[in-house]
A and B are shown apart, each in its own frame.
Chain A
Amino acid sequence: MPSAAEQLVIKGLHVSVEGQEILKGVDLTIGRGEVHALMGPNGSGKSTLGYAIMGHPSYEVTAGSIEIVDPSGARHDVLAMEPDQRARAGLFLAFQRPMSIPGVRLADFLRHAVTNCRNPDRKEGQELMPMREFRNELKAKMAELSMDTEFARRYVNDGFSGGEMKRAEILQLAMLRPKFAVLDETDSGLDADAVRLASESIARIGGAEMGILIITHHEQLLEHNIPLQTHVMLGGRIVESGGPELARELHKLGYERIRAAYPDAAAAEKAMEESAKAAAV
């Protein structure tokens, strides 16, 4: 499918963690400006896809490809990149559980991140984005997101509530303006009003420029981010894709119809659950 927009193209992706295969052949193409929703029961491999896209060292890609294909057709092999190169190439993962970095102010952290993502060839030690310019931009973004500037002076995710962490992730998304973003349950831990605010913010940040994959169990986050496609993951594969009505159905009725319709994937889900149980014992 030729497209004018830059695309993130995932083909036949297999990913293992500690020797256990979690993803068993994922195909997904996201164009810039598109919103895709990824749903599925716990343990189906949604977060694994996010980590694999970002290059987490514990997630081993055993087969398949992840590429950024630009409008000219040139292909960039994401799997050959280190995690920081991926970020600089325009990929972003909003973590389900962001890490805290005590003693490092969110503003300082973001200044490094923004500088690097805007100057992908920057070597450590080279100039950071000028403080005044950075501060003005940060203040403006925080105002747009109704965040108190005091927040940026706090240490990265240190002592943050679940909701504060998610808002900090959205702030970073807004500052970094990636080409493609995976938002891993950015709605979890938020109350209804906060989810609505997050949904609006993401829509405003994303605009026509960003390709977004929203991993969620709910449909509220999609209120202002109407997905072009909703994908259902089960047993490490995307088994069905559809429109917004699919998200609504899954939210209301759960995954029983899906499990019945895709017995192979349901069996894989069961096997993964059992081996996880065995590993826990």
Chain B
Amino acid sequence: MSTATASPRAAFDAALLERIIASSSLPSWASDVRRAAFDRFVSLGLPGRRDESWMRTDVRLFKPQAWGPSAAPTSPTVPEGLLAPAILSGDLAADSYADFDRAQAPFASQHAAAGSAAAPGAGGKLAGRLASVDGHVVRHELDPALAAKGVVFGPADELLASHADALRPHWFRVIDTGCDWFAAAHAAFHSASSVLYVPPGVRIADPLHVIAGMSDGGVDTSHVLVVLGEGAEATVLTETAGGGATGTAGGFHCGGTEIVVGKGAFLRMVNLQNWNTGVWHFARQKAVVQASGRLQWTLGALGSRLSQVAQDVALAGRGASAQVNGVMFTEGRQHLVYNTLQHHEAPSCTSDLLYKGALQGKSRLVWRGMIKVDKAAQKTDGYQRNDNLMLSTEARADSIPGLEIEADDVRCTHGATSGRVDAEQIFYARARGLSAEEAARLVVAGFFQQVFDRITIPQVREALAKAIGGRIHRIA
């Protein structure tokens, strides 16, 4: 290889594609997926503002030729994630997940206090974990007891060939790999990709944790595929961390997540995006929920310079349900764009989306949501709501709900609000001895409480609340 230390990058081109394929142990059918995506990739330019999904995302400053994968992780150290202090504080046995789903203790919602130490329970553990840096898996492990039950978890490179029966039907078939430059780039050049397969009837009590880290100027194209067999249960926490801050080399994430929730299965999925503020973040995420399957999917977003995320849920079998939660906090000049789709393909399904965002500085948050109900999807119950709290006069939020309904016996509603912190609220709290900052943090924590109440994983909501609390300045 001709890589020099000064420039460890390769361009996203045919030579790189062939090099990846040659050095990878993915089965040939998976390489075919890459090649097909690459064919599409070379025919595409960057998405422009005429594309409705992209018209509120300015990618003019994104220079594709400036980015390429690094041949090796620039640092073996995984950046500390947001969930890390709560979850990765020790080895598998020492992690603290004991009070999973605990009821709210009376008077004890301590997460409202930004400064107070979060108090996760003790004595729990992780079922498995995987960490990557700059597109290279640096460690992974799975509870052997689960492996014995047929659970498959780890790098796709190691597992895809041997578990093709379970994984091939879904591998890059859930998300669209050709709809735009980023989708095609991801499908062609993904690396540090991971898979989870939970066989029918297997219930995993403890969460699995996947963290994608990045160094300053790094590139991450990791892919996650989660497949739950009939009646299976699992909790998957994925997070991103690192990259450069504003004004540095930054970073580039071009990722994808595919989720298949089998019949009667139950998945709790968390995606936490906490890149530093110099990182470009592009992600396609889609879940297919089969009959009577249940999905609780929480997106948290605090980081990145610019994000464009597609989050789709397809309710593909009768009686499937999905709860989608979004917690966004933006500051500075961050610009985050979410396109969500709740696609009701089958009858008697429920989808309930609640996105809440708080905006500081000159940041901008866009949510464009669609509930699509096919003709066959009678008795659909669909809901979508986006509430934004403006913490500065210079921030901007756009909420664009949408309904597309072909069935006639459905209940679909949507709502959106945008408000400011009321100066009278702050004065009231200050009159009781709270400092202006403390008052602002409480008001914002209160704003997010409704969505936190829906997140049944205390460590996740505590980590989110604490991180958000720490970022709130005095409210303008």
Contacts and interface: CB of A to CB of B under 8 A. Distances in A.
A274 interface: no
A95 B110 CA distance: 26
B202 interface: no
A83 to B, nearest CB: 4
Max count, chain A CB within 10 A of own CB: residue among B114, B115, B424, B429: B429
Contacts of B423: 57
A84 B434 contact: yes
Contacts of A86: 431
A83 B431 contact: yes
* Size class of the contact patch on chain A: 35 or more
B102 interface: no
Contacts of B430: 55, 82-84, 87
A255 B429 CA distance: 35
Contacts of B425: 99-101
A99 B422 contact: yes
B285 to A, nearest CB: 27
Given A54-B431, A125-B115, A152 B107 contact: yes
B393 interface: no
Max count, chain B CB within 10 A of own CB: residue among A102, A103, A107, A149: A103
A153 B433 contact: no
A99 B428 CA distance: 6
A124 interface: yes
Contacts of A125: 114-116
A126 B427 contact: no
Interface stretch (A20-28, A127-135, A237-245, A258-266): A127-135
A30 B445 CA distance: 38
A109 B114 contact: no
B197 interface: no
Given A84-B433, A102-B449, A128 B442 contact: no
Contacts of B422: 99
B388 to A, nearest CB: 15
Contacts, number: 119
B399 to A, nearest CB: 19
A124 B428 contact: no
Contact of B435 (A84, A128, A176): A84
Contacts of A155: 446, 449
Contacts of A176: 432-433
A247 interface: no
A98 interface: yes
Given A103-B450, A112-B438, A128 B116 contact: yes
A93 B431 contact: yes
Contact of A109 (B432, B448, B450): B432
A105 B433 contact: no
A103 B446 contact: yes
A133 to B, nearest CB: 12
B442 A109 contact: yes
Contacts of B106: 135, 149, 153
A168 to B, nearest CB: 11
Nearest to A132: B107
Contact of A103 (B107, B439, B448): B448
A265 B11 CA distance: 82
A212 B241 CA distance: 54
B431 A105 contact: no
Contacts of A80: none
A104 to B, nearest CB: 4
A127 B115 CA distance: 8
Interface string B101-115: 000001111101111
Given A57-B427, A102-B447, A103-B448, A112 B434 contact: yes
B18 to A, nearest CB: 54
B457 interface: no
Max count, chain A CB within 10 A of own CB: residue among B423, B433, B447: B433
A225 interface: no
A126 B117 CA distance: 10
Max count, chain B CB within 10 A of own CB: residue among A104, A110, A126, A149: A104
Given A83-B430, A113-B434, A103 B113 contact: no
B436 interface: yes
A138 interface: yes
Given A84-B433, A124-B437, A105 B442 contact: no
Contacts of B449: 102-104, 155
B10 interface: no
Contact of A104 (B108, B116, B436, B442): B442
Given A98-B428, A101-B442, A108-B109, A126 B434 contact: no
A47 interface: no
Contacts of A108: 107, 109-110, 112-113, 442
A87 B107 contact: no
A154 to B, nearest CB: 12
Nearest to A175: B432
B88 interface: no
B113 A112 contact: yes
B26 interface: no
A153 B107 contact: yes
Contact of B433 (A57, A117, A127): A117
A270 interface: no
Given A84-B433, A104-B443, A112-B442, A99 B424 contact: yes
A179 interface: no
A229 interface: no
A84 B436 contact: yes
Given A101-B446, A104-B449, A155-B446, A131 B434 contact: no
Contacts of A113: 429, 432-434
A152 B105 CA distance: 13
Contacts of B436: 82, 84
A7 interface: no
Given A99-B428, A108-B112, 20 more contacts: A83-B427, A86-B431, A95-B431, A98-B428, A101-B443, A103-B447, A104-B112, A104-B445, A104-B446, A108-B113, A109-B434, A110-B432, A111-B107, A112-B438, A113-B434, A117-B433, A125-B115, A125-B116, A135-B106, A155-B446
6 contacts: A92-B431, A101-B443, A108-B112, A108-B113, A131-B110, A153-B107
A-B pairs with the 4 shortest C-beta distances?
Answer: A103-B446, A125-B115, A103-B449, A116-B433
